[in-house]
Amino acid sequence: EAYVKVIDGKSAAKEIREEIASEISRMKESIDVVPGLAVILVGERKDSATYVRNKKKACESVGIKSYEVHLAEDSSEQEVIKYISSFNDDPSVNGILVQLPLPFHMNERNVLNAVCLEKDVDGFNPLNIGLLAMRDREPLFVPCTPKGCIELLHRYGVPIKGKRAVVIGRSNIVGMPAALLLQREDATVSIVHSRTKNPEEITREADIVISAVGQPNMIRGSWIKSGSVVIDVGINPVEDAKSSRGYRLVGDVCYEEVSKVASAITPVPGGVGPMTIAMLLSNTLVAAKRAYDYK
Ligand code: NDP
């Protein structure tokens, strides 16, 4: 059996949180401010509530001040936007995050558009994505999950320049920006999606695979070239009678098969997930440094 290196997102994220915490304490000492992040949660989804709680905890662990607003499921779009506007105007808030998905009756686009560009720590504003796509331009923020994937490649010393990369999935929040980031790092990038004719064949050409599909165990060992590096973004619940919750979380990648072929792979959980939150903290620090013109 070939030796596979497990890319440990949990420990990389811990390292990053420590780096951020020490930068924030330096910032507090020299200009007597700390970054602030506002999180807006609408409705009662349990998974969303868990994500918000984890983000809040992560903020506290590095010294970011968090401001939380929890609105009822039946709130109006205008109410949510009113809170966003007040955070836009509040200088102690450097980043604003609206937890998705929003209730069905709200227009996600209108709500997200209300977040001002300087506080768009999720990096979802179309201008940010446009800047990310353009040569010689810099986005204000890079979306957290794809940024976390690239950060893992960097921290594990995986060369990207000149490599063949395949991104599976093209969503606005993960797949598409991941492909743009890999291209910025001089990889040659292909994007596989639900209409791709020969996904397996294309994926097998890759030195680096990033999968963000949302299908448990879709990426099999036969899809992977020997020695390639595989980043699994997927978080998919599958039934599991042995678990107390009745389900467990798996990635898009069939870990058992792919770990026998790849040279390195991220586990689920403990891979990209913790990195996403670490990158949110990083983006909030970036926002604060910019707001206070602090290097
Ligand atoms: P979306 O559902 O928005 O996008 C899925 C993408 O996968 C689409 O582009 C779709 O193609 C493509 N796709 C679906 N089925 C297939 C298939 N059979 N073959 C090839 N491509 C396919 O999902 P997200 O990007 O939001 O999330 C993807 C996964 O990542 C989910 O499991 C999600 O839970 C997880 N996730 C994890 C995060 C983390 O922090 N680790 C953060 C965000 C998401 P098409 O465009 O043609 O429809």
Residue 2 is predicted with a pLDDT of 55
pLDDT at 240 over 90: yes
- Please give the CATH number for the structural domain made up of 33-116: 3.40.50.10860
Ligand 1 atom closest to the Cα of residue 275 is: 40
Whole-number average pLDDT of the chain: 97
CA of 219 to the centre of ligand 1 (A): 13
H-helix or E-strand containing 273? helix 272-291
- Residue 144 CA, ligand 1 centroid: distance in Å: 15
Instruction: Kindly state the average pLDDT of the residues 17-31.
Output: 98
ipTM, two decimals? 0.99
Catalytic positions, please? 55, 99, 122
Predicted structure pTM score? 0.97
Pocket of ligand 1 (CB under 6 A): 145, 168-171, 173-175, 192-196, 199, 212-215, 233-236, 272-273, 276
Residue ranges covered by each domain of the chain? 33-116, 143-273
Q: Give the model's pLDDT for residue 3.
A: 73
Residue 1 has pLDDT above 70, yes or no: no
Q: Whose CA is nearest to atom 15 of ligand 1?
A: 194
143-273: which CATH topology? Answer: Rossmann fold (3.40.50)
Assess whether the region 33-116 and the region 143-273 belong to the same CATH fold.
yes
130-179 pLDDT, tens digit per residue, is 999 999 999 999 999 999 999 999 999 999 999 999 999 999 999 999 99
Please choose from 151, 171, 200, 230 the residue to mutate so as to test ligand 1's pocket, defined by most ligand atoms within 8 A of CB.
Answer: 171
Rounded to an integer, the average pLDDT of 104-114 is 96
Return the pLDDT at 207.
98
The model's confidence at residue 91, banded by pLDDT at 50, 70 and 90, is: very high
Question: How large a percentage of the chain has pLDDT more than 90?
Answer: 98
* Residues 168, 192 contacting (CB under 8 angstroms): yes
pLDDT category at 271 given cuts 50, 70, 90 is very high
* Predicted confidence (pLDDT) at residue 4 exceeds the cutoff of 90: no
pLDDT for position 27? 98
Q: Which of 173, 190, 235, 238 to mutate to test ligand 1, by most ligand atoms within 8 A of the CB atom?
A: 235
Q: What is the mean pLDDT of residues 38-63?
A: 96
